[in-house]
Amino acid sequence: MSKDLSTWLDTLLNELQGIEVRRRSSRRIRVDVQPDALPALLELLRGRASYVHLSAISCVDWIDEGEFELVYHVWSYEIGSLVSAHTRIARDPGVYISVYDIYTPAAFFERDIHEMFGVFFEGSPDMSRFILTEWDGPPPMRKDFDSEAWVNAHFDFQDYQPDWLQEIEAKGGGVAVRPDEQRFSRRDLDAS
């Protein structure tokens, strides 16, 4: 059974135009594909070569190239190999098509990527906030999002000097990192 399926897989990967296949090991195949051909590739992988399990969709922000890389990891229980299909979409406007109709688990990953990177997936069942319910800033996993600058701009710092610590310090003791040595100190912000 699985031998027949691997033949299907080889035929499929050989015949498709515009894809680049690299076999990294006996159970890992990397495929680079144009964004307009990716849904068709996944459809064929699932329908003809038994890749029924979508393990994950990963997103990488290649900010210098102005692109998002989307990686679809699909696994075949029968052939026993994992295909990672890499595709790149333009960072602006960052819109792509959902593969929810091919793989149900895609709904979670697409919602997550939308929340963290701001990529909108057309046709995905739910693009509402999930983890960052109260968040009103830019998508935080983007490379141009600076956590430290965001924190400094949005939160107030308070030096930690409770009475008990002051008593200990008066006797010459103290904590390992003294309040005035803290990396984030209200005093530095006030001074600058």
Q: How far is the CB of 6 from other proteins (least distance, A)?
A: 15
Q: How far is the CB of 71 from other proteins (least distance, A)?
A: 7
Query: Closer CB to other proteins, residue 30 or residue 169?
Result: 30
Query: Closer CB to other proteins, residue 13 or residue 54?
Result: 54
Q: How far is the CB of 163 from other proteins (least distance, A)?
A: 31
Residues that bind other proteins (CB under 8 A): 27-28, 52-56, 58-61, 71, 73, 75, 77, 80, 82, 84, 103-105, 107-109, 112, 116, 130-134, 136, 140-141, 145, 147
Query: Closer CB to other proteins, residue 19 or residue 59?
Result: 59
Is residue 83 a contact partner of residue 26, using CB atoms and an 8 Å limit?
A: no
Query: Closer CB to other proteins, residue 12 or residue 71?
Result: 71
> How does strand 81-90 pair with strand 28-33?
parallel
Query: Closer CB to other proteins, residue 28 or residue 178?
Result: 28
Rounded to whole angstroms, how far apart are CA atoms 44 and 174? 65
Q: How far is the CB of 178 from other proteins (least distance, A)?
A: 23
Please, where are the H alpha helices in the chain? 2-15, 38-49, 106-117, 147-154, 163-170, 186-191
Could you identify the residue written with the tokens 């141009």? 144
Q: State phi, psi for 128 to the nearest 5 degrees.
A: -80, 165
Rounded to whole angstroms, how far apart are CA atoms 50 and 80? 10
Q: How far is the CB of 52 from other proteins (least distance, A)?
A: 6
For 27, the token pair is 């159970």
